[in-house]
Chain A
Amino acid sequence: MIRFDQVSVTYDDDAGPALTGVDLTVDEGELCLLVGPSGVGKSTLLGTVSGLVPHFSGGTLHGTVTVAGRDTRTHRPRELADVVGTVGQDPLAHFVTDTVEDELAYGMESLGLPPDTMRRRVEETLDLLGLAALRERPIATLSGGQQQRVAIGSVLTAHPRVLVLDEPTSALDPAAAEEVLAVLQRLVHDLGTTVLLAEHRLERVVQYADQVIVLPAPGEAPLVGEPAAMMAASPVHPPVVALGRLAGWSPLPLSVRDARRRAKTLRDRLAPEPAPDGAAEPAAPDAVAPPVGRAEGLTVRRGRTDALRGVDLAVRPGESVALMGRNGAGKSTLLSAFVGLHEPATGTVRVGDAVPHRTRPADLLRRVGLVPQEPRDLLYADTVAAECEAADRDADAPRGTCRALVTRLLPGVADATHPRDLSEGQRLALALAVILTASPPLILLDEPTRGLDYAAKARLVEVLRALAADGHAIVLATHDVELAAELAHRVVILADGEVVADGPTAEVVVSSPAFAPQVAKVLAPLPYLTVPQVAHALGAGA
């Protein structure tokens, strides 16, 4: 269905090729997963299938890409629109019209399909994706998972034979991600659509893949193979694979179900061990110190709805708290309330002894720092060096404070680099360094792992652990259950603006099917959350 023949892509202002030596075939009806670290050319590879690379993006393509018999060199993206459907990372950037139904019809209108065919296909697609109840809703009012499904539906109505998706679940909470993946599964199983998708969150998708393409490093040729075989060698892999490698299982399990069936002996071996603690467990917080951030009965109103209702939360020095809950549950609102972006309708919020929304920004900076969902929002300057100087000035810190932090968090970044040219993970580290320049005791992070690969995530975990060990309190709002399991002492689950669970990570997370990390699911009822904990226990037992 898709055939790459000695494909390489070079962008005009780059030294080396962005992609090289791609020579592979994706068969009809396959779900093919594309994995690899950030910046390795995944989006470029996806772009060559829809023809956007090189027709839209510029650059030079060598070799040929053939989709359903059409050569992308001679067919522009619009001439491939009836065979390839493309959904980008941000569904909002994809929408042309304002309501769900019009959006589903837009592609077909461009193709000039007859009205009765359009009508029938819109109805079918509404049913297929479970969107019937939303058909007249303005797209802007939908949740993230719903928007992603509308984006998929909007390309499906043209009945493409190939569907190309770039990180379809990375912005979604676990339940919404499952919604989207269920839809993809149906397309592959029932309609025989060929799906090619890139995704960082392998734990969500790898078990559905028929074929995996690994791009190991920039400029290296891709490896292609069966998921289990590829995972055995891949530099990026989900926790369940890490557990399988640790336990020496072969073939490697890809889903929790496979792993659980194999894990009986491992569970028996681990059962007599004491409950995990020590090296793998995050250091315990200081229980007697006064909280650095506290909300009591906090209600925040946005428009006419209560975004938060009677929320109580206290964070002590050295403690890491993970805020979880579905999209729109009020996680970001709670973080913003701590930096004074929302005035409480009732209740109080305190940072140290200050009331955030009445404190001058320059003072607040020393009490609390927030890294927003889009770290780029915090960066204004043209170069890393200028950004650091500005941060020193903002925080009244001695010259070079921020630069020293950058060097620690992000070794090997040149002064003259433009923040825009950094990868997602590097940009996050830079924003974190900027915030840390004023050394606030309370650090808030909103969705820090969005768009991060496993290596960047591992570095982030190290950095945050070190900060917690230094006595910083950390609150992170995240959908990433694996991150919460590795990092957080406490998990707070929000639903509809209310706290529905608050307790030690192991207790809260293990009892919830949506928020349990893979290792916990495999080893339940044993209270293990992460692979390092298991490795530590096995090492101690041996």
Chain B
Amino acid sequence: MSTDDSPMSDLPHGEAPAAARERALGRGGAERATAPREGRPARVWRAARAPVATRADALHAGAWWVWALGLAVAASRTTNPLLLALLVAVAGYVVAVRRTQAPWARSYGAFVKIALVVIGIRLVFAVFLGSPIPGTHTLFTLPEVPLPEWAKGVRLGGRVTAEGLVFALYDGLKLAALLICVGAANALANPARLLKSLPGALYEAGVAVVVAMTFAPHLVADVQRLRAARRLRGRADRGLRALLQVGLPVLEGALERSVALAAAMDARGYGRTARVPRAVRHTTTALSVGGLLGVCAGTYGLLAAEGAGYALPVLLAGLAAALGGLWLGGRRSARSRYRPDRWGARAWLVSGSGVAVAGLMIWAGSYAPTALHPPAVPLTAPTLPLWPAASVLLGLLPALVAPVPPDAAARPGPARRSGAAVRSDAAGRGPVSAPGGGRRRTAAGPRDAAGPPPASRAAHPSTEPPAKESER
């Protein structure tokens, strides 16, 4: 039982601690004794528990974005540092327990760093450029630079007040929280899968991004290899000059590789188009161009004062026409999609939790405006308002319901236990596949994961004749 339930052991409601306690109390037979008593609630719990993320039940990438944007909207509605910190903690915790080993998942750290830099810059500006916030608590006074008459609104140096700094800090925190929410979506959602959900007419753009993503690591490897080669020629392998001199060969290599890839893609049928009637083609063009014009005009109307009456209808009509153009354009491409991500119950829960956080926070803005925006003047310690804080905690739902990444085992930190348990889980039940579980990162001896031996391959001959169904 402890083995079965341990994927949840890092979660608040995990049952493993209970089992451990029972063992500690000397009830050795606890596992066998409790198994038959397992009643209906346990079965329901078992069914609702987060599965290991395989291709079939991976969460839709869009759900992660909806969830993160919901948190971001919530963050934009408050300057209460305690609430903001809570939001960041919620996003961080979900990333910690649900991100994979994929390269994009590592981008989260970069986003956190950028967020810290944003706070720093905001504070530096507040110190040197002064702040419009009136304050009485002077921390220190910088020598003020006298500016000419025409720059009267600007101040350089001068009095620095605690109120000004606190205001700047709150403001910076808000921006930082927004950034961290976007970073969380970036780390959790597979960009390739997200692009796969694009409409067919935008497919080319999606391919370009995916190819670029696979090319970047090659480019880095090329630079490293060529710098090493410089050392073999007896030249310095460090420094800017070395980097510049390998630039040309690296670009050459990248160019060659892209030509080879283009040839391979061509030979694999990239760019095959379906025959589309002339009328449909022309309609597509008309809809796309007309729609975009409508969108432009509508946006201009919304922003300018004159067009308040007609702007919204024009914008909506333009949008509809553009979408229609995209849909019709998709008919030209003969492509089909292999196993697109499904938007299942878990995706509804994850995205719903984000929307709920955003909605509740917007609502809180009307019933507790002062709690969401603690005043910098006069200086008061911010308090944590109970109900808004509780609504932020709803954002933790993905940590419970989103599928567990299969390769969490290789990662240090909070998720390690869950990862190890996933592995034993998979081993214990067989069909739950966690391919390459903890082995993915061991570079040495890759062949031992090479798959079934020839004998077992021979046991599943492909019975279908090869060219039978080249019909399309």
Contacts and interface: CB of A to CB of B under 8 A. Distances in A.
Given A113-B472, A124-B462, A119 B444 contact: no
A361 interface: yes
B446 interface: yes
B133 to A, nearest CB: 49
A109 B272 CA distance: 10
Contacts of A117: 469
A175 interface: yes
A434 interface: yes
- Which among A77, A125, A370 has the greatest number of chain B C-beta atoms within 10 A? A77
A190 B461 contact: yes
B231 A330 contact: no
Contacts of A218: none
Interface string A142-168: 110110000000110011010000000
Contacts, number: 265
A399 interface: no
Interface stretch (B6-14, B40-48, B116-124, B447-455): B447-455
Interface string B233-244: 111110000000
Nearest to A126: B451
Interface stretch (A4-12, A79-87, A312-320): A79-87
Describe B's contact surface by its main secondary structure: loop
Nearest to A357: B231
Nearest to B406: A136
Contacts of A95: 214
B1 interface: no
Contacts of A362: 234-235
B272 A137 contact: no
B266 A304 contact: no
- Which among A109, A307, A496 has the greatest number of chain B C-beta atoms within 10 A? A109
Contacts of B231: 339-341, 361, 364
B265 interface: yes
Contact of B228 (A50, A93, A125, A341): A341
A88 B249 CA distance: 22
B257 A127 contact: no
A411 interface: no
Interface stretch (A99-107, A258-266, A280-288, A521-529): A99-107
Interface size bucket, A side?
35 or more
B263 interface: yes
Given A90-B260, A93-B261, A155 B466 contact: no
B413 interface: no
Contact of B336 (A76, A114, A146): A114
A66 interface: no
Nearest to B238: A361
B149 interface: no
B367 interface: no
Interface in B423-472: 435-436, 440-447, 449-454, 457, 460-462, 464-470, 472
B266 A52 contact: yes
Interface string B329-342: 00000111111000
B441 A96 contact: no
A326 B232 contact: no
A438 B260 contact: no
Given A192-B466, A497-B444, A105 B339 contact: yes
Interface stretch (B205-213, B307-315, B317-325): B205-213
Interface of B: 54-55, 102, 192, 207, 210-211, 213-214, 217-218, 225-226, 228-237, 245, 249, 257, 260-272, 274, 334-339, 406, 435-436, 440-447, 449-454, 457, 460-462, 464-470, 472
Given A88-B264, A182-B454, A365-B232, 5 more contacts: A109-B338, A132-B451, A336-B228, A361-B232, A365-B234
20 contacts: A55-B266, A80-B267, A84-B267, A93-B257, A98-B192, A101-B55, A101-B339, A105-B339, A108-B338, A115-B339, A127-B457, A130-B450, A133-B449, A133-B451, A192-B465, A304-B441, A305-B443, A307-B444, A329-B444, A369-B232
Report the 8 A-B pairs with minimum CB-CB distance, sorted nearest first. A81-B269, A365-B234, A105-B338, A110-B269, A130-B451, A112-B334, A93-B260, A377-B229
Interface of A: 50-52, 55-57, 76-86, 88, 90, 92-98, 101-102, 105-115, 117-119, 122, 124-125, 127-138, 140-143, 145-146, 154-155, 158-159, 161, 175-176, 179, 182, 186, 190-193, 302-307, 326-330, 336, 339-341, 361-362, 364-365, 369-370, 372, 374, 377-378, 380, 390-391, 394-395, 434-435, 438, 495-497
